[in-house]
Structure 1
Amino acid sequence: MTWPLQRLTAPDPATYSPRQQAIHDQIASGPRGGVRGPLAVWLHRPELAARAQDLGRYCRYDSSLDQRLSELAILVTGRVFGSEYEWQIHKGHALKAGLEPAIIEAIRCNRRPDFADVETEVVHDVAFAAHRTRDLDDALYARAREVLGEQRLVDLVGLLGYYTLISLTINIFRVPPLDGGAAELSDV
């Protein structure tokens, strides 16, 4: 597949303002190890990049959700938005965190996976409903609150909001997958 031209690329590092350079260096020295994709685009507005990267760091690395559940929610978000870059990056993270390949493949194919445990099922269902209906019905909300507890449910909703921002940035500015990776979502 040939990717459409990216509408807005990262600013040229040779033209960074002191603030852009400081934010770039802060992101690059953290757990992400570099500034790519939507984070690079956000450097056009360094204060947005700084605040978004702080929220992203919390959602990815410091929330009460374990990494497996976080990556599941991120994959659902990427799938719903059709964000190839997000899917490409987080599919590997999800596998490494222990998310079953069959669950990942079902999400990629827009099918509801079979779940071995209730937490995984609830995170999937909350993520899917949040993006499809922009709400949770009372039964799903009660189930999520019972299974995840209030703190993890709040963290899940925050993560879904952050990765919605990521997905919109990827899609609107047409951020291509790394190295022009193969499309996995458009053929389904």
Structure 2
Amino acid sequence: MARIPYADTAHPDHVEAAAAIRASRKKVGHLHRMLLHAPPIATGWITMFDAVRWNSTLSGRLREMVICRIAAINGASYEWAAHAPIALAEGMSQAQLDALPAWDGSTLFDATERAVLAYCDAMTRQVHVPDDVARAVRELFPARQLVELTVTIAGYNCVSRVLEALEINGADVLPPDA
């Protein structure tokens, strides 16, 4: 059970933000229903994450790989459940997805993926990225994609932290979406 009730999409203070979420995501799910308690944050969230997911030049495969890795590190099962099917659709194999929680002991990831996963791990676990880890991704990606990768990792760490702090796990039955 989530720590606070989900917001009512029909509440006058939430209608505009709920419409923006629906326009982007087709429905107002658990996370977005919770964010509606703070409408400016909900609309800003959608704008930022639409940019990360749909307007980035970073491959969808790498994007979803780091999102799932973050979910594994942070124990964010709702995030994992939401993004694992997308990762598969973007080209990750089921074997890679299964190996992701312990990727560093796996031979299923190529040199680029290993550099990206090391960067993701450093950002998620330590915040301060060691120079050698940063250098490895900087040598692989142009500046735009390095920023996109960095913001994707930072952003989805934010997602998992919101999900886990508010205990949003997808098990709660949402009230009807107005």
Whether 2:155 is the aligned partner of 1:159: answer no
Amino acid at match of 1:166: V
Whether 2:16 is the aligned partner of 1:22: answer yes
| Aligned-partner SS, 1:79 | helix
Aligned twin of 2:119 = 126
Count, aligned residues: 172
Which whole-Å CA distance do the structure 1 matches of 2:128 and 2:93 have between them? 27
Q: Quick check: 1:75–1:87 contact (8 Å CA) kept in 2?
A: yes
Which whole-Å CA distance do the structure 1 matches of 2:4 and 2:31 have between them? 10
Which whole-Å CA distance do the structure 2 matches of 1:116 and 1:161 have between them? 22
The within-5 A match list for 1:32-111 is 32-108=25-101, 110-111=102-103
TM-score (norm 1): 0.84
Aligned twin of 2:9 = 13
Amino acid at match of 1:29: A
Moved over 4 A (4+): none
Structure 1: give runs of 5+ residues left out of the alignment.
181-188
Cα distance 1:106–1:179, how it changes in 2: closer, same or farther (>3 A)? farther
Q: Quick check: 1:74–1:163 contact (8 Å CA) kept in 2?
A: yes
Deviation digits for residues 82-138 of structure 1, max 9, x if unmatched? 111100000000001011212211124x34232453322222111111111112211
Cα distance 1:116–1:173, how it changes in 2: closer, same or farther (>3 A)? closer
Which whole-Å CA distance do the structure 1 matches of 2:4 and 2:150 have between them? 28
Structure 2: give runs of 5+ residues left out of the alignment.
174-178
Deviation digits for residues 150-181 of structure 1, max 9, x if unmatched? 2111111111121112111110111113579x
Aligned twin of 1:138 = 131
Q: Quick check: 1:11–1:44 contact (8 Å CA) kept in 2?
A: yes
TM-score (norm 2): 0.89
Q: Quick check: 2:9–2:18 contact (8 Å CA) kept in 1?
A: no
Which whole-Å CA distance do the structure 2 matches of 1:34 and 1:25 have between them? 9
Q: Identity percentage over the alignment? A: 23
Which whole-Å CA distance do the structure 2 matches of 1:23 and 1:178 have between them? 23
Q: Quick check: 1:37–1:170 contact (8 Å CA) kept in 2?
A: no
Superposition deviation, residue 34 in structure 1: 1.3
Cα distance 1:178–1:100, how it changes in 2: closer, same or farther (>3 A)? farther
